[in-house]
Structure 1
Amino acid sequence: MPAPVQLDCQDGVLTVTLNRPESGNGLDFETGKAMLAAVADGAADQRVRAVVLQGSGGFFCSGDDLDSLRRYADGDVAAAPASADTADAFYVRLCEEIVLAPKPVLAAVNGVAIGPGTEIACAADLRIGGPGSRIGCGLIRVGHVGIGAMLRRVVGPARATEIFLSGRLVGADEAHRIGLLDRLVPEDGQVVDEAQRLARDLAHGPTKAIALYKELRERSVEQPVLSALRMQDRFHRRSHAEVADSGEGLSALLQGRKPHFTGH
């Protein structure tokens, strides 16, 4: 049986593929655990300078695995896609790892993203989709709550509320229009290629500066504007002191040449 999560690392880009198309790439215990480990390890690996998350078989991630949910409902607590030690849902910890990763993380939404799949996609720094991309959540239909954290950050509280209350899947054109997809390619077969192209470009960029930007982004969220501006200035000064690539970037600009970034 093929592994539920497949890994490939080339040219500084780690590709993490959910590979359970028969279940819509739903998250069971093993899959959630493997996804979390893959992203956490990739975030810590100095050879990895960008990460792409994708799914196989026309699905990005359809949320929690239905068979696991049935077993959980029948009393099999260990079937839940959550840590046996802390009971934290794997997708929650995965979102945390994506947000905190000191490198760009892209979601190739090549198909359907539902519930936890939507939150994982929204945790990514960039989302790429095609005509077949569908994003949303049906938890309201079964009286459960979710997608109130990461989706809200991407589309705002009002749109996130409407998407949750309707229980609908947002189509590709609307998703692109409201910022739920950053890039929309003409054909579904181009989604992964475009994500890989963007990831390679970012992997060859000043990834230490990207890490600092992500830290600034998280720390300045919902700060008063004056505090956020002062924090931004401190981080700019940190980039001078901590990002070796900043010197190369300035030199290249002044010399009229293309910079060669090392990610340090």
Structure 2
Amino acid sequence: MTDAPVLIDRLADSTGAVAIVTLNRPDRRNALTVDLKEALVAALAEVAGDESVRAVVLAGSGPAFCVGQDLGEHAAALDADATTAFDTVAAHYAPIVTSLATMPKPVVAAVNGTCVGAGLGFALACDLRVFAAGTTLGTAFSAIGLTCDSGLAGTLPRAVGEAKARELVLLGRNFTPEEAVGWGISGEIVPAEEVLAAATKIATRLAAGPTLAYAESKRLLASGIDRPLADTLAAEGDAQARCGRTQDHAGAVRAFLDRDRPTFSGR
């Protein structure tokens, strides 16, 4: 296997391509160094801009998904200049999470093992998740005297409610996939050896679907909770009109009337 910090694999069939973006520091449980973060920013930009890619899987190599920031590198950055040690939040973490959350195609997190700190933020920024049974999840920040990054201050309370989010962040206790699903962090739970296959199966199904409509839905859902109802209704109307002008919509209506299965091309 290549020693590149991030790998991109494309699986293509007649319905379009699925890109698998893999964090590739298995010996360090995919702890995030500057090299890995920069490579991930670039990889996500590449698959987001590739029109042949219709769905994305975010995975981790080895036994962990991502344990968050590489603390050895972080300690060195603090020693060098504590005033710049956190520039990485704006330079790397924010672009990564923004790309995952706003990419105009579905993203599935294949959480194959330990997923804490920024790793949890990345997983929650994805649209769907598959968890390995027995995986350790956690916020982790308070244990090292820090607060949230990677969007967790927004995605976690949206998923589990404000009270539970406060508990998970302030107490910093780890939790299981079963607890996560019970609290509202949606996700399928499968044996560890089946995580990537299960996530890829979901992504392949999504890649065959109406990707333009998925993109509109992601935008609507991202702001729908915080927006006044009148604004949401107006945004839905605009989005429906855009979808209604696509070949995908017209073809699906014809297929429905002909009692046939629709084929979506992303146009």
What is the TM-score of this pair, normalised by structure 1? 0.92
Shift >6 Å, 4+ stretches: none
Within 2, Cα distance between the matches of 1:8 and 1:59?
19
1:253 corresponds to which residue?
Answer: 256
Q: Tell me how far 1:247 sits from its aligned partner.
A: 0.7
The one of 221, 224, 227 aligned to 2:225: 221
Report the residue type matching 2:218 in the other structure: K
Please tell me whether the aligned partners of residues 54 and 108 of structure 1 are also in contact (alpha carbons under 8 angstroms): yes
Q: Which runs of 5+ in 2 are unaligned?
A: none
2:123 corresponds to which residue?
Answer: 121
Within 2, Cα distance between the matches of 1:47 and 1:102?
12
Go from structure 1 to structure 2 and tell me whether the alpha carbon gap of 1:133 and 1:95 turns closer, same or farther (over 3 Å shift).
same
Please tell me whether the aligned partners of residues 64 and 81 of structure 1 are also in contact (alpha carbons under 8 angstroms): no
The one of 96, 99, 103 aligned to 1:97: 99
CA deviations 1:148-178 (Å, max 9, x no partner) are 1222232222221111112112201111212
What is the TM-score of this pair, normalised by structure 2? 0.91
Cα RMSD between the aligned structures?
Answer: 2.0
2:266 corresponds to which residue?
Answer: 263
Q: Tell me how far 1:70 sits from its aligned partner.
A: 1.9
The one of 40, 45, 49 aligned to 2:45: 40
Q: Tell me how far 1:226 sits from its aligned partner.
A: 3.4
Q: Percent identity?
A: 36
Q: Which runs of 5+ in 1 are unaligned?
A: none
Greater Cα offset, 100-109 or 142-151: 142-151
1:138 corresponds to which residue?
Answer: 140
Within 2, Cα distance between the matches of 1:159 and 1:140?
15
Please tell me whether the aligned partners of residues 28 and 80 of structure 1 are also in contact (alpha carbons under 8 angstroms): no
Report the residue type matching 1:253 in the other structure: F
Q: Within the alignment, does 1:2 sit opposite 2:7 as a pair?
A: no
Go from structure 1 to structure 2 and tell me whether the alpha carbon gap of 1:153 and 1:170 turns closer, same or farther (over 3 Å shift).
same
2:204 corresponds to which residue?
Answer: 200
2:187 corresponds to which residue?
Answer: 182
Within 2, Cα distance between the matches of 1:250 and 1:183?
31
Please tell me whether the aligned partners of residues 180 and 186 of structure 2 are also in contact (alpha carbons under 8 angstroms): yes
Q: Tell me how far 1:82 sits from its aligned partner.
A: 5.2
CA deviations 1:173-229 (Å, max 9, x no partner) are 1112123242112x1111111100000000011101111111222243311223323
Within 2, Cα distance between the matches of 1:82 and 1:59?
26
Please tell me whether the aligned partners of residues 78 and 85 of structure 2 are also in contact (alpha carbons under 8 angstroms): no
Report the residue type matching 2:235 in the other structure: M
Within 2, Cα distance between the matches of 1:179 and 1:126?
12
Please tell me whether the aligned partners of residues 29 and 80 of structure 1 are also in contact (alpha carbons under 8 angstroms): no
Report the residue type matching 2:167 in the other structure: E
Report the residue type matching 1:255 in the other structure: D
Q: Tell me how far 1:81 sits from its aligned partner.
A: 8.2
Within 1, Cα distance between the matches of 2:99 and 2:198?
23
Q: Which SS does the other structure have where 1:170 is aligned?
A: coil
Q: Which SS does the other structure have where 1:184 is aligned?
A: strand
Q: Tell me how far 1:250 sits from its aligned partner.
A: 0.8
Q: Which SS does the other structure have where 2:204 is aligned?
A: helix
Q: Within the alignment, does 1:111 sit opposite 2:127 as a pair?
A: no
Q: Which SS does the other structure have where 1:33 is aligned?
A: helix
Q: Which SS does the other structure have where 1:39 is aligned?
A: helix
Within 2, Cα distance between the matches of 1:62 and 1:36?
17
